[in-house]
Amino acid sequence: MGLGYGFLLCFLLWGSTELCYPHPLWLLQRAARGPASSSPPVRVECLEAQLVVTVSKNLFGTGKLVRPSDLTLGPERCKPLASEDGADVVRFEVGLHECGSSVQVTEDALVYSTYLLHSPRPVGNLSILRTNHAEVPIECHYPRQGNVSSQAVLPTWVPFRTTVHSQEKLAFSLRLMEEDWSAEKRTPTFQLGDTAHLQAEVHTGSHMPLRLFVDHCVATPTPARTTSPHHTIVDFHGCLMDGLSDSSSVFRTPRPGPDTLQFTLDVFHFANDSRNTIFITCHLKVAPANQVPDQLNKACSFSKSSNSWSPVEGTDDICGCCNNGDCGVLGGSRRLPPTGKLSTSQRQKSTSRKRRHVAEEADVTVGPLIFLGKAGDRGMEEWASAAQSSMALGVGLVVVVTLTLAAVILGLARRRRAVSHPEMCPVSDSK
C-alpha cells in the first residue's frame, strides 16, 4: 500500500512515470527494508591500470537479488566476470580506459569516470519487475604529483618506452690509465718495453647490479678492427691470449668493482708496418652481478710461473677452455648461424633476444697508442741530437771569432788614433 501510494504521489507531482523509477543509490539504501548490511553494496578498487568493481547481489538491501546479466559497466555496457550461481557478489575487472570511461585532468589529479548500470528485465513470460533501474557513478582519482615507487618520479611527458630505454641503456668505456691507476693517462706515447694500463668500465645508471667482462680485443694499426695486420689480445670470451707470448699481460685482481675491469699490456709494434701507432678495440659485455662466472663470462690470465690459467673471480675450471679455444657457443656479437637454417619462430626469438640485449654489449676503441721505439725513430732521435750538438758548437765558434775580431779592430782603431793625434807637452820658460 505504501509503495503504491508513493508511486501515485510521484505520478501526480511529475505528470509521468519516467522519473519514478531511477533512484540514486543512497535513496535506495535509505528506503531499504530490513537490517542494514555491514558492507556497502558496491565496492570500488582503483588499481594502477585497472578498475575492480564488486557488486552485492542484494544491491537494494531488500532481499531481492539482482541478476548478473542485468548489471553492466560504462557506456559500452561491459559484462561482469563469470561467477558461480551461489556467489553473493558480481565482479567487474576492466582497464581504466575500457568500457567507454572518460578521463578528466584537474590541477591535482587524473579523474577516471564511469558508472554501474542496473537495467532489470522481465523474467520469462512475466511482464513485471521486482527491482528498480539504478545508475551508480564511479570515479577513480589519481594524484598527478607524487612518488608511487622507490625510484625518482619521471616527467609525465616522456613515453614509457623511452623511459625504459633510457634506464636500461649502458655506457661502456675503455681508457688508458697512469701506472698507479689513479687517473687517465695524459699522453698516449710509449717506448717499446713500456706497459700500457687499460681500464674497461660500464656506467649502469639505475640498472640492476652488473659485472663487466672483456669478451675479446684486437690491436690494429688503424681504428678499423678488420684491417691487416692485426694482433689478438683477448679471445674466447675473456682469455688474455697476449700473456701466452713473451709478454706479462694480465688482468688485475681483485677488481676495483664489478663494473670495472683492469688489465696491463706490454706495448708492441707490427714488424712489417711503417706506422708507429696501434688502436685497441675491445668487445665489452655485462652479466648480472649475482651470476656465477662461467666459460662465457670470465676474465682469465696466463701465469708463466705456474704454466696455468687463473680467473679474476670464479673457479679455475672456467679457464680450462682457453688452451683449446672450446669455450662454448660464441655470442651473437661475433657469429650467428645462417638465417636460412632457422625457422620463422627461431628467427623471431633470435631477433627479439638481440634487440633486448643490444644495450648489454658494445665495441669500444682506444687509441692511437704512439710508440717511439722503432729503429727509424731511434735514428731520427740520434740525428736530431747530433744536429743539435753541431749547431751548438758552430754557434759557439762564431761567437768566439766575432768577439776576437771585434777586439782586434778596436785595438787597431785606438792605435791609429794615438798616432794621428800625438800628445804635446807644455814648455815653460825659465828665467
How is the chain split into domains, by residue range? 2-143, 166-332+352-375
Q: Using an 8 Å Cβ cutoff, are 91 and 79 in contact? A: no
If you compute the radius of gyration of the chain from its CA atoms, what whole number of angstroms results? 45
pLDDT at 395: 65
* 166-332+352-375 CATH fold: Immunoglobulin-like (2.60.40)
79: closest CA among 58, 55, 103, 49? 55
Q: What DSSP letter does each residue of 372-390 carry, written as one string?
A: --SHHHHHHHHHHHHHHHH
pLDDT tens track, the chain, 431 positions: 444 544 444 444 445 444 444 444 444 444 444 444 467 889 999 988 889 999 988 888 878 888 888 899 999 999 998 877 778 899 999 998 898 888 888 878 888 999 999 888 887 777 677 777 888 899 899 887 655 555 554 444 544 444 444 445 688 999 999 999 999 999 899 888 899 999 999 987 767 889 999 999 999 988 888 888 899 999 999 999 999 887 889 999 999 999 999 999 998 888 888 888 899 999 999 999 999 999 999 999 999 889 999 999 999 999 999 988 888 754 433 433 333 344 444 444 433 333 333 358 889 999 889 877 544 444 444 544 554 555 666 667 777 777 788 777 877 777 776 656 555 545 555 44
Whole-angstrom distance, CA of residue 241 vs CA of residue 226:
18
SS3 content of the chain, % helix, strand, coil (to 5): 25, 30, 45
Q: Using an 8 Å Cβ cutoff, are 177 and 199 in contact? A: yes
Count of residues making up the chain = 431
DSSP 184: B
pLDDT at 388: 55
Q: Give the global pTM.
A: 0.46
Q: Which three cell numbers stand for residue 67?
A: 541478476
117: closest CA among 98, 100, 136? 136
**Cα angle vertex 425, ends 421, 430, to 5°?**
155
176: closest CA among 191, 162, 163, 186? 186
pLDDT at 196: 94
Helices and strands: H and E segment counts in the chain: 5, 18
* 2-143 CATH fold: Immunoglobulin-like (2.60.40)
